[in-house]
């Protein structure tokens, strides 16, 4: 298995190491646990090792035009040093991956992709690369990344930065930062529903970055956070997980992220005709939020049923939400979907467990815009 540069720090801190897509990463830390880590990010701050994420640079006179053909959002509206959330689709309207696009200039970009999809995405990019005008480089194994998240994130980062942290707006970045003296790219982004930052440094500087951020955050009650809380935080905040809310067969409109799909975008994109037709003709299924009323923990892949017992869909993500103290689920079900306040049942160990459809996201995001 691959290890991030912060591996030794995780082991020393009592991290329970697991195999996550071929990476040895902490699912939680012995001294805290998933629930405590989750709530600490909501109330104070948490530090995540996300060095397993993929980073790919795109440069050349046709860089922007090429990226635009691959993604659903409109990157032509981006300004330099902005970040934009994006989705890459297949010809059939399914999802290859979701990603962040960082624009340095019209001829230089950074793409940040999901760890489990780095090789698949690289193959996708390579397959669609033109003969000239665009140069791509996979710098994933040269780049360490830490995510500092929570209401105290800004105050912590201010202690170790050389730039005006407060001036960095939501979904913008700087590449001229020094964090504790380490040259870094810093963006005001995250995957928790809280204010926070994602910090990219040279691979070998990862341990130093990790240690200095934890030290700077001591007075604010910072904790290192594992994969378990990373997932429960994004789930509460209604953020999609590729392979769950997005799949080869569940597209971005069905998942409820149509805002990021510009079906009339000039120049088109892969999957655009299918998605445009879906929007015009209406969706055959959608993802809805569910709060379980009966005892039981819903998990991905479980079946969802209507009052008659007829199977109408499946759970894409499910589990306990510490901020709500409730078991929740996202269910992809056929339309017309039940409305808020109506019932849906999840089949848990062959027993139908009643739930109530609720508004998404489950947790009100606390971004600083």
**Is the domain of 293 the same as that of 215?**
no
Rounded distance, CA 146 to CA 22, Å? 19
CATH classification at residue 302: 2.40.30.110
Q: Within the chain, how many helices (H) and strands (E) appear?
A: 9, 19
**Is the domain of 216 the same as that of 146?**
yes
Residue 122 pairs in a beta bridge with none
- Span 15-38, average pLDDT: 96
Q: In terms of residues, how long is the chain?
A: 369
**Is the domain of 198 the same as that of 303?**
no
CATH classification at residue 16: 3.30.1360.120
Q: What is the pLDDT of residues 277-288, one digit of tens each?
A: 999 999 999 999
**Is the domain of 288 the same as that of 352?**
yes
Res 341: pLDDT: 98
Res 70: pLDDT: 98
Res 337: pLDDT: 96
**Is the domain of 288 the same as that of 227?**
no
- Span 291-306, average pLDDT: 98
CB atoms within 10 A of CB 126: 10
Note whether 339 and 289 are within 8 A (CB): no
Number of domains in the chain: 2
Q: Grade residue 38 by pLDDT with cuts at 50, 70 and 90.
A: very high
CA-based nearest residue to 193, from 160, 175, 215, 170: 170
B/e letters for 238-268, b = 16+ CB within 10 Å, e = fewer, are bbbbbbbbbeeebbbbbbbbbebbbbebeee
**Is the domain of 146 the same as that of 232?**
yes
**Is the domain of 149 the same as that of 221?**
yes
**Residue 244 maps to a domain:** no
* HSE-up (13 A, CA, CB side) for residue 303: 11
**Residue 216 maps to a domain:** yes
**Residue 110 maps to a domain:** no
**Is the domain of 47 the same as that of 149?**
yes
Q: What is the pLDDT of residues 120-153, one digit of tens each?
A: 999 999 999 999 999 999 999 999 999 999 999 9
Residue 105 has pLDDT above 80, yes or no: yes
Q: What is the pLDDT of residues 312-354, one digit of tens each?
A: 999 999 999 999 999 999 999 999 999 999 999 999 999 999 9
**Residue 168 maps to a domain:** yes
Res 368: pLDDT: 87
CA-based nearest residue to 179, from 155, 150, 208: 208
Report pTM. 0.97
Residue 34 pairs in a beta bridge with none
**Is the domain of 41 the same as that of 154?**
yes
CB atoms within 10 A of CB 109: 23
**Is the domain of 342 the same as that of 212?**
no
- Span 260-282, average pLDDT: 97
What average pLDDT is seen over the chain?
97
User: What is the extent of the structural domain holding 314?
Assistant: 284-358
Res 162: pLDDT: 87
Residue 369 has pLDDT above 80, yes or no: no
Q: What is the pLDDT of residues 6-16, one digit of tens each?
A: 999 999 999 99
**Is the domain of 293 the same as that of 349?**
yes
CA-based nearest residue to 328, from 315, 347, 339: 315
* HSE-up (13 A, CA, CB side) for residue 74: 10
**Residue 341 maps to a domain:** yes
- Span 46-62, average pLDDT: 98
The structure tokens listed for 135 are 């140069």
Using alpha carbons only, give the angle 150, 146, 160 rounded to the nearest 5 degrees. Answer: 75
Residue for token digits 């970040």? 83
**Residue 263 maps to a domain:** no
Rounded distance, CA 114 to CA 108, Å? 20
């Amino acid at each position: 298995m691959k290890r991030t540069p912060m591996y030794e720090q995780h082991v020393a801190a009592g991290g329970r190491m697991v195999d996550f897509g071929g990476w040895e990463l902490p699912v939680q830390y012995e001294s805290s646990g998933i629930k405590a880590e989750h709530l600490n990010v909501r109330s104070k701050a948490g530090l995540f090792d996300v060095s397993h994420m993929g980073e790919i640079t795109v440069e050349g006179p046709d860089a922007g035009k090429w990226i635009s053909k691959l993604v659903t959002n409109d990157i032509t509206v981006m300004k330099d040093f902005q970040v934009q959330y994006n989705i890459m689709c297949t010809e059939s309207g399914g999802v290859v991956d979701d990603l962040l696009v960082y624009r340095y200039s019209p001829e230089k970009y950074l793409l940040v992709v999901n760890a489990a999809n780095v090789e698949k995405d690289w193959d996708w990019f390579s397959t669609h690369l033109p003969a000239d005008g665009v140069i791509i480089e996979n710098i994933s194994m040269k780049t360490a990344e830490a995510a500092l998240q929570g209401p105290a994130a800004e105050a912590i980062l201010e202690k170790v930065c050389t730039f005006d942290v407060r001036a960095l707006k939501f979904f913008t970045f700087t590449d001229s930062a020094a964090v504790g003296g380490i040259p870094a790219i810093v963006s005001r982004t995250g995957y928790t529903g809280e204010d926070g930052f994602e910090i990219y440094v040279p691979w070998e500087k990862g341990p130093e970055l990790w240690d200095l951020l934890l030290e700077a955050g001591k007075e604010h009650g910072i904790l290192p956070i594992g994969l378990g809380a990373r997932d429960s935080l994004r789930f509460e905040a209604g953020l999609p997980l590729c392979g769950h809310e997005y799949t080869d067969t569940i597209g971005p409109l069905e998942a409820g992220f149509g805002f990021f799909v510009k079906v009339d975008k000039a120049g088109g994109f892969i999957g655009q005709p299918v998605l445009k037709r879906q929007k015009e003709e209406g969706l055959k299924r959608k993802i809805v939020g569910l709060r379980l009323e009966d005892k039981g923990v819903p998990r991905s892949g479980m079946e969802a049923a209507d009052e008659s017992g007829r199977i109408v869909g499946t759970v894409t993500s499910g589990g306990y939400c510490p901020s709500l103290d409730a078991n929740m689920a996202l269910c992809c079900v056929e339309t017309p979907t039940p409305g808020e306040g109506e019932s849906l049942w999840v089949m848990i160990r062959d027993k139908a467990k009643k739930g109530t459809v609720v508004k998404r996201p489950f947790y009100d995001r606390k971004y600083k815009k």
